[in-house]
């Protein structure tokens, strides 16, 4: 049986899809984290640059404060501080140059550097000599020039700081939108995963749990003794195979149980019948003896009546013998029996003894088995006699001996009779089942018992071309020494 989908495939598909979904969700989360990391790095850089810019603005204000103090006090007491402030301004300008990678502010920084250097030089060379000389007009003009330079530096610094602050703001907004969209994806993928997991659970329940439940229920019903339990699954997977095997098993169990019950029944009836037969056999022999004696002395109508009594007594004796055969334990010796010769012998004897029987019988093939020759002769006699009787005048019987599977010896007995009726097929081998007016219904029952004691069996079926086929199987065949095509015609 080929599977359209197997349970393994289903599980692989379901968990594979779930894995892909979760991998997609994880990938998008990692991507968002990495983007966020980059944006946060940018914010840190902008903030650091902003701090340096603000520090530079403070340093420039310090520089101006010391210049103003020098002008107000009219001495050099603040010159040292002024130099320190100038040095800090230069340091911070250098730092800004090194740091300003985030924005293109090189022109502004260069302008700030030049202006602050020019401011320091202007103070030293123009304003300080005027202060020390007490030339108020020159001092005033120099101070005005310094204020202009400080103003222009502050404007440049403000522009850089504003640019950086707006970039920080933009980056923060970008980080917010990354976080929001990551959250959206996370919710969406988790929702999808949840929906998919629910659908997968329903699918697996329908395709795995439901068939398992049906199998479990079937096994329970079987355990409760319902032999007609069958499991119907409309799938084409391992469970359908399991259900088919379960159904085959219950059918076999049903058959075995029916056969066992029938055998037990037959054994009980057989034991009872054998007991009765044993008791009847002796008085019957005595009665038959007397009838034969009286027949010799009688004449006319009375003799005819005695003949009927004798005939019926003989028939009863056959029944009794059949019953005793059925109950008698069979000694299965390990003597080699030549089945080909035995079939030929039986065919000849039966053909000679029967009137109104088939006019032709062929025996084909050879074979040997170990067993009880006398018992096997009885089996072949019963079956061949039935076949000859069923075929009737003008009919034919073929006995074919061949080797079956597992080295069994198989004997097919085919006849040209009417075949087996439905009732016969169901009741074949049942003691006392007969459709013949003067039959005992014990021939096949005895044959079956003999064959089963040899480890063999007998089966019957109707042939397609008409007539019945009885098949006897016996274990452990050995090929015959003679010509396999040997043929006897009676
Ligand atoms: P009996 O021959 O005394 O009836 P058997 O046990 O030998 O007893 O046979 C039982 C019944 O099986 C027969 O009465 C007959 O109905 C059926 N039967 C046996 N062999 C054949 C056959 N070759 N073709 C048709 N029916 C058969």
Q: Parse the chain into domains and list their residue ranges.
A: 6-200, 238-327, 336-489
CA distance 376 to 396: 22
Q: How far is the CA of 24 from the centre of ligand 1 (A)?
A: 77
Q: CB under 6 Å to ligand 1: residues?
A: 382, 386-387, 390, 415, 417, 420, 424, 428, 433-436, 439-445, 468
Q: Give residues with Cβ within 8 angstroms of 24, minimum separation 6.
A: 189
Q: Which residue has the tokens 């005895």?
A: 446
Closest ligand 1 atom to 434 CA: 14
Cα–Cα dist 442/433, whole Å: 7
Binned at pLDDT 50, 70 and 90, residue 190 comes out as confident
Region 197-215: mean pLDDT is 88
- Topology match between the domains 238-327 and 336-489: no
Indicate if the alpha-carbon torsion angle 252, 258, 260, 263 is positive or negative. negative
Q: How far is CA 142 from the centre of its chain?
A: 97
CA 245 – CA 98 distance, rounded (Å)? 82
Task: Give me the mean pLDDT over the 174-192 stretch.
Answer: 91
Q: How far apart are CA 386 and CA 380, in angstroms?
A: 10
CATH dotted code for 6-200: 1.20.1330
Look at residue 236 in the predicted model and tell me its pLDDT. Answer: 79
How far, in Å, from the CA of 386 to the mean position of ligand 1? 6
State yes or no: pLDDT of 2 exceeds 70: no
pLDDT of 488 higher than 70: no
Compute the distance between CA of residue 155 and CA of residue 159 in angstroms, rounded to an integer.
6
Residue 481 predicted with pLDDT over 50: no
pLDDT of residue 319: 84
Q: Does domain 238-327 have CATH number 2.30.30?
A: no
Query: What's the pLDDT band for 482 if we cut at 50, 70, 90?
Result: very low
CA 429 – CA 320 distance, rounded (Å): 17
The tokens for 227 are 């032999």
Mean pLDDT (whole number) for 178-198: 90
Q: How far is CA 382 from the centre of its chain?
A: 52
Confidence (pLDDT) at 477: 58
Give the integer Cα–Cα distance in Å for 40 and 192. Answer: 30
Q: Which of 386, 399, 419 to mutate to test the pocket of ligand 1 (most atoms within 8 A of CB)?
A: 386
- pLDDT digit string, tens, across residues 64-91: 999 999 999 999 999 999 999 999 999 9
**Residue 472 alpha carbon to ligand 1 centre in Å:** 15
Question: Do residues 453 and 376 lie in contact, with contact meaning Cβ atoms separated by under 8 Å?
Answer: no
Proportion of the chain above pLDDT 70, given as a percent: 95
pTM of the model: 0.50
How much distance in Å is there from the Cα of 354 to the middle of ligand 1? Answer: 15
Tell me the pLDDT tens digit for each residue of 431-472.
889 999 888 888 998 899 899 888 899 999 999 989 999 999
- Write the CATH number of the domain with boundaries 336-489: 3.30.565.10
Spatial contact of 322 and 378, defined as CB atoms under 8 Å apart = no
Average per-residue pLDDT in the chain?
Answer: 88
Q: What pLDDT score was predicted for residue 489?
A: 39
Ligand 1 centroid to residue 373 C-alpha, Å:
23
Surface-to-core class of residue 465, CB atoms within 10 Å of its CB (0-12 exposed, 13-18 middle, 19+ buried): exposed
Q: What spacing in Å lies between the alpha carbon of 449 and ligand 1's midpoint?
A: 16
Residue 102 confidence (pLDDT): 54
Structure tokens at 20: 């892909």
**pLDDT, average across residues 386-406:** 92
Picking from 9-18, 49-58, 91-100, 260-269, which range would have the lowest pLDDT averaged per residue? 260-269
Per-residue pLDDT, 3: 46
Distance CA 217, CA 229 (A): 10
Nearest residue by C-alpha to atom 8 in ligand 1: 441
* Residue range 148-154: mean pLDDT, rounded: 94
């Amino acid at each position: 049986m080929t599977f359209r989908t197997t349970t393994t495939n289903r599980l692989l598909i379901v968990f594979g899809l779930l894995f892909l979904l979760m991998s997609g969700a994880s990938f998008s989360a990692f991507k968002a984290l990495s983007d966020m990391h980059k944006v946060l790095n940018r914010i840190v850089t902008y903030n650091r640059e902003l701090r340096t810019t603000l520090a530079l603005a403070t340093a420039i204000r310090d520089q101006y404060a010391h210049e103003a103090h020098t002008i107000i006090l009219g001495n050099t007491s603040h010159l040292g501080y002024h130099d320190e402030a100038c040095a800090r301004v230069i340091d911070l300008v250098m730092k800004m140059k090194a740091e300003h990678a985030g924005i293109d502010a090189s022109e502004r920084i260069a302008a700030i550097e030049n202006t602050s250097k020019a401011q320091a030089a202007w103070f030293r060379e123009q304003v300080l000599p005027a202060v020390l000389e007490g030339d108020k007009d020159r001092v005033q003009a120099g101070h005005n020039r310094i204020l202009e330079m400080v103003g222009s530096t502050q404007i440049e610094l403000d522009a850089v700081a504003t640019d950086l602050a707006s970039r920080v703001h933009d980056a923060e907004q970008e980080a917010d939108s990354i976080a929001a969209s990551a959250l959206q994806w996370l919710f969406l993928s988790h929702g999808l995963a949840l929906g998919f997991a629910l659908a997968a659970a329903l699918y697996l329940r329908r395709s795995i749990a439901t068939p398992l439940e049906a199998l479990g229920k079937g096994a329970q019903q079987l355990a409760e003794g319902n032999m007609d339990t069958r499991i119907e699954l409309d799938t084409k997977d391992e469970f359908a195979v399991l259900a088919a095997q379960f159904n085959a098993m219950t059918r076999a169990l049903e058959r075995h149980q029916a056969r066992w019950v029938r055998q037990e029944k037959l054994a009980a009836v057989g034991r009872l019948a054998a007991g009765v037969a044993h008791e009847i056999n002796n008085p019957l022999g005595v009665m038959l003896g007397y009838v034969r004696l009286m027949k010799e002395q009688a004449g006319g109508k009375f003799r005819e009546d005695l003949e009927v009594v004798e005939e019926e007594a003989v028939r009863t004796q056959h029944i009794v013998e059949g019953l005793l055969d059925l109950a008698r334990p069979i000694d299965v010796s390990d003597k080699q029996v030549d089945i080909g010769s035995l079939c030929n012998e039986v065919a000849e004897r039966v053909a000679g003894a029967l009137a109104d029987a088939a006019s032709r019988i062929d025996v084909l093939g050879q074979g040997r088995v170990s067993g009880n020759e006398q018992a096997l002769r009885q089996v072949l006699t019963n079956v061949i006699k039935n076949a000859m009787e069923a075929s009737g005048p003008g009919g034919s019987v073929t006995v074919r001996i061949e080797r079956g599977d597992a080295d069994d010896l198989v004997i097919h007995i085919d006849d040209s009779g009417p075949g087996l009726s439905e009732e016969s097929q169901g009741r074949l081998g049942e003691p006392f089942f007969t459709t013949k007016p003067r039959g005992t219904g014990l021939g096949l029952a005895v044959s079956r018992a003999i064959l089963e004691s040899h480890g063999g069996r007998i089966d019957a079926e109707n042939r397609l071309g008409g007539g019945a086929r009885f098949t006897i199987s016996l274990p452990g065949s050995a090929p015959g020494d003679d010509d396999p095509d040997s043929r006897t015609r009676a």
